[in-house]
Structure 1
Amino acid sequence: MVSGAPEFTARVSGDVAAIEALRTGPYTPPWAGCADPGRSAAGDDYAIVALRTSQDFYAAGDGGESVGAAHEAFETERWGVVLALDERWGPHRPLSLDAYAEQDEEGAPVPPFCAALFELGYYGDLQVWHVEGREVGVGVGQMDQEEPVVLFALITASTPVGQGSRVRPCPA
């Protein structure tokens, strides 16, 4: 957990620096700022990189309080990163993964980066920017209640293979 303002500011600055390096680097590892390669993934036109992971919660035994506190801390850090990137690149846009998740559950095709996100257990909303030919996203995920909470970055080509256009929110 982040203990104070200087540590929080340092984490956010480190996350932003890692995301900037990822945005301009290759999709393949090694990745700048990767906290856990096992909670990261790559394809021909994307990289999903775990920037920070919490402890696991197998032995927490506190009725979920530790998980809740970790989610709160990681969401706070995510929004610190979002605000910093908004200042750098302009306003983000939300990308809900809900429609993609439904398609995936029904066996319908989804963009490869979405399939990789779901395999890692990263559902929910992302905050996304289009920057110099790539899409950059930030999110928080958790495979299940006993697994670590993860702050991750998504970097993908503006024209993902087979999609024909920029990454956009799915229709509801």
Structure 2
Amino acid sequence: METRQHLAAIDDLVGRAFPERAESSGYRDSGPGHHVDALATSEEFWECDATHRLDVEEQYEADRDGLSTLLGARWGPPQVFSLWSVRDRSMSGERIPEPWNVLSCHVPDLHLWRARGRWIGLGVSQWDKELPFQLLVVVTTVDPP
């Protein structure tokens, strides 16, 4: 059931118009040319041991990989796009367009497709070791930097 819901949420975002101004609602951030939405969010890790945190991270990566397989049947195999160099360029003062700039702060890489005139990506986010993991979907018309 959860996989079906994730696929429906991805399809909804792919078909959704982009707002003219940045807006947020819950775990969804949208702006000119992009949507970023959390398909799933874990618990926080303030008092958890490292083993539990690692187990959760591995589960979120497995969920991303499973969805990637299903989306790959639609759009072909994903390109794995590292955001490390994007973050490095941003820290060096280069202006990086959204959603790529903020994603580079907390998502190491994306499974990325070009379909229906948009970039569609899946990634696992974590802002800091105590904060939750999120399975993110990104839909944008902004080319990766």
Q: TM-score, normalised by structure 1?
A: 0.75
The aligned residue for residue 31 of structure 2 is 43
State which of 103, 128, 148 in structure 1 corresponds to 2:132: 148
Q: TM-score, normalised by structure 2?
A: 0.88
The aligned residue for residue 20 of structure 1 is 11
1:99 Cα deviation from its structure 2 partner? 1.3
Relative to structure 1, the CA distance from residue 37 to residue 52 in structure 2 (aligned partners, 3 Å threshold; closer, same or farther) is: farther
State which of 63, 80, 86 in structure 1 corresponds to 2:66: 80
Name the SS of the counterpart of 1:59 in structure 2. Answer: coil
Distance 2:135 2:74 in 1: 20
Name the SS of the counterpart of 1:112 in structure 2. Answer: coil
Would you tell me which structure has more strand in proportion to its own residues? Answer: 2
Maintained 8 Å contact 1:92/1:129: yes
Q: How many residues align?
A: 141
Unaligned runs of 5+ in 2: none
Larger Rg, first or second structure (1 or 2): 1
The aligned residue for residue 70 of structure 1 is 56
Distance 2:103 2:28 in 1: 9
Distance 1:147 1:37 in 2: 19
Give me the CA root mean square deviation. Answer: 1.8
1:66 Cα deviation from its structure 2 partner? 1.7
1:38 Cα deviation from its structure 2 partner? 4.7
1:59 Cα deviation from its structure 2 partner? 2.2
Q: State percent identity of aligned pairs.
A: 28
| 1:128-150 alpha-carbon deviations (Å, 9 max, x no partner) | 11111111000001010110000
| 1:106-139 alpha-carbon deviations (Å, 9 max, x no partner) | 1211121112224xx4221101111111110000
Unaligned runs of 5+ in 1: 1-9, 29-35, 161-165
1:58 Cα deviation from its structure 2 partner? 1.3
State which of 82, 89, 93 in structure 1 corresponds to 2:79: 93
The aligned residue for residue 111 of structure 2 is 127
